[in-house]
Amino acid sequence: MKEPISVDDAENKKRLRASAAGRRRRAQSEAGPEAAILLADQFLRKVPRAPEAIIAGYWPIGTEIDVRPLLRRLIAADHRVVLPVVSVLGQPLKFHEWTPETLMRSSAHGIDVPPDDTPELAPNLVITPSLAFDPEGWRLGYGGGFYDRTLRRLRGLGDILAIGVGYAAQQVDKVAHNDLDEQLDWVITEEFATEIKRLG
């Protein structure tokens, strides 16, 4: 049974993130490495994307579901793939091109990123990790607000799709949200793909 979520203050959110991290850790252990392949299959079957679409993925850390098999298949289908780079705290993410041959570097935040001399591109589709998500497309992130700021900026420039990915067990009944949060367009897991009717 899914656990209902109600977030009223920072302390509740802190507890929620700890609980959601534990849930994701268990989901990773139970689903196994094949979950990454199943997620890629769901994505490629269900998510619409233009042939020239530039797709932003992420380099998985900790117990985040591994999207690298999906990114390799997208490149094989002639899409350009980019990865997020934190340039300034409190600002939207930048995106640099990645291929399987890219020699990654460690950033100041301990996350592997493409080198600075790789092309910086604006994506049309953004794949986002999360700690938890709900059926209405609201996600619980890590508290830095990077993806919300980034999606808001990109949506101000044109049409994009925001795709939340994770393990099926990360879905909960409700993630509380406010005016600073950005809603997803799709939620993709190893078990299902859900298109969201986004508000506005």
Instruction: For CA atoms 6, 9, 13, 19, give the dihedral sign.
Output: negative
Q: Residue 27: which residues within 8 A CB-CB, separation 6 or more? A: 63, 166, 167, 168, 169, 170
pLDDT at 28: 97
Q: Cα–Cα distance between 122 and 95 in angstroms, integer?
A: 7
**Tokens found for residue 77:** 């289908």
What is the number of structural domains in the chain? Answer: 1
- Domain presence at residue 5: no
pLDDT in tens, the chain (200 residues): 344 444 455 677 788 899 999 999 999 999 999 999 999 999 999 999 999 999 999 999 999 999 999 999 999 999 999 999 998 888 999 999 999 999 999 987 788 999 999 999 999 999 999 999 999 999 999 988 999 999 999 999 999 999 999 999 999 999 988 899 999 999 999 999 999 998 86
SS3 132: strand
In angstroms, how far is CA 117 from the centroid of its own chain?
A: 24
190 in Cβ contact with 42 (< 8 Å):
yes
Q: pTM (2 decimals)?
A: 0.92
* CATH code of the domain in which 164 resides: 3.40.50.10420
SS3 77: coil
Q: Cα–Cα distance between 80 and 113 in angstroms, integer?
A: 16
Which residues span the domain enclosing 88? Answer: 10-195
- Domain presence at residue 93: yes
- Domain presence at residue 200: no
pLDDT at 5: 41
Q: Residue 8: which residues within 8 A CB-CB, separation 6 or more? A: 176
- Domain presence at residue 111: yes
